[in-house]
Copies of this chain bind each other. A is one copy, B any other.
Amino acid sequence: MTTRSSAPVRQSSVRAHNLALVLNTVANSADPPSRAAVSAATGLTRATVSALVDDLIAGGLVTELDPPPRTGAGRPAAGLALTAAGPAGLGLEINVDYLAACVVDLTGAVRQRFTEHADQRPAGAAGALAALGRLGARARLAAEADGLVIAGVALAVPGLVSGDLVRVAPNLGWQNTDAAALLRGVPELADLPVAVDNEANLAALGELRVAGANPDFLYVSGEIGIGAGVVIDGELYRGVRGWSGEIGHVTVYPDGRPCRCGANGCLEQYAGQEALAADEPLAAAALGIALSAVVNLLDVPVIVLGGAFVPHFERLRDGIEAELRRRVLTAGLAPVTLRAASLGAEAAVRGAADAVIREVREDPAGWLRRTS
């Protein structure tokens, strides 16, 4: 949790921070930890941890495990774990040829998943989002039957997003669409807070969740277009206006093929879905050149290729790595790791659902206020 530097801090902020600290310690422990273990891990006293855990249990975020995990001598510890039947996130995704909905609980487990394959362009923004909202409503109903409480909705869109507004989604043909408002038009979702974000950003979060270990990487999403999400220290870097990661339009060959964006030689023309399908020989080199730029500029140690790149990964790998070795200034000091994503097409929906519960996990105090 980060505290805005321009805001005053009171004791309640201390509690809010420490609640998050305890919750995340419970979440990230390999085995269900005791209060004493949480105390040792966080540096808070056992007294404080007990008080905080009481709040978290009362708020339904943490549960005491029933069969206390076996230990040595002494009073047996009560194992703590995130509640599976607590708040959950509803992730929604719209793309050119499908709709998807997904519910993830506090523990990160996928509890519901729905998909509908169909071309979304004819329906227009209003029609497509209404259909997606209905799909989301089904997912919500099924999740609530399982005892979950949907905390919010996050929507993944293949386009440039400012707040709730989709400024441009070229492949869908959308412009200045208030996606959150259209989604809330579906009565079953009207009561939920809605966040809209770029598909690649959310897919990067999805990958972060499952790949876990490495909190610094660039996720490259190959859909119809190519986008990227930058994850630094476990946080998404969104850019000043939320338009970061447009790697698809990084120039690779200055006088190369014309792109539909109006420029020449964009990466998308050499490594987009069509180029990949056509077994384009330049794809690996083009990716390598663009990715080298990213590493030179951002110093990210790991690159994850996702979406449509996954099935082509082995074919592309050597070519990309050769360019990285040649063009990344620091390649000699520390090699760049390249790997295929663990999640396939479902990365963005999962990441969206995950983004919702991330907020609960980062600010449990806010959730407790909401529910009390």
Residues in A lying within 8 Å of B, measured CB to CB: 1-3, 5-11, 13-14, 17-18, 20-21, 24, 42-44, 160, 167-168, 216, 228, 230, 232-233, 237-254, 261-263, 266, 285, 289-290, 292-294, 296-301, 326-330, 333-334, 362
Chain B residues with Cβ below 8 Å from A14 are 9-11, 13-14
What residues on B are CB-neighbors of A168 within 8 Å? 333
A133 to B110, CA, bound (A): 59
Closest A-B pairs by Cβ, 7 of them? A239-B299, A243-B299, A244-B299, A246-B296, A249-B329, A9-B17, A263-B327
Residue contact B18 to A239, C-beta cutoff 8 Å: no
What are 22 sample pairs from A and B whose C-beta atoms fall under 8 A apart? A2-B5, A7-B21, A8-B42, A8-B44, A160-B333, A228-B297, A232-B240, A233-B240, A239-B298, A240-B299, A241-B330, A241-B334, A242-B299, A243-B299, A243-B329, A246-B329, A249-B328, A250-B296, A251-B327, A254-B289, A263-B326, A297-B298
The residues of B that contact A292 with a CB separation of less than 8 Å are 250-251
A5, B20: Cβ atoms closer than 8 Å: yes
Question: Is the beta-carbon distance between A293 and B240 smaller than 8 angstroms?
Answer: no
A9 to B296, CA, bound (A): 36
- CB-CB under 8 A from A10, the residues of chain B are 14
CB-CB under 8 A for A216 and B232, given A2-B2, A297-B294: no
Asked if residues A18 and B8 are in contact (CB atoms below 8 Å), the reply is yes
CB distance from A27 to the nearest CB of B (A): 12
Assuming the A-B contacts A8-B43, A240-B300, A254-B285, are A327 and B17 also in contact, with contact meaning beta carbons closer than 8 angstroms in the complex? no
Question: Given the complex of chains A and B, what is the CA–CA distance between A6 and B21 in angstroms?
Answer: 6
Minimum CB distance partner of A262 in chain B = B326
On whether A330 and B246 interact (CB within 8 A), knowing A2-B5, A3-B3, A14-B10, the answer reads yes
> In this complex, which of A230, A247, A266, A296 has the most chain B Cβ atoms within 10 angstroms of its Cβ?
A296
Contact of A167 (CB < 8 Å), options: B239, B263, B299, B333: B333
Min CB gap A28→B, angstroms: 10
A167, chain B: closest CB distance, angstroms: 6
B9 touches A5 (CB 8 A): no
For the complex formed, measure the closest distance between the CB of A37 and the CB atoms of chain B, giving whole angstroms: 15
Q: Decide if A7 touches B327 in the complex (CB within 8 Å).
A: no
User: Chain B contacts of A243 at CB under 8 A?
Assistant: 299, 329-330, 333
Alpha-carbon distance between A362 and B242 when the two chains are bound, in angstroms? 26
What's the Cα separation between A333 and B169 when bound, in Å?
Answer: 13
Which residue of chain B has its CB nearest to the CB of A330?
Answer: B243
B289 touches A244 (CB 8 A): no
Chain B residues whose C-beta falls within 8 Å of the C-beta of A329 in the assembled complex: 160, 243, 246, 248-249, 261
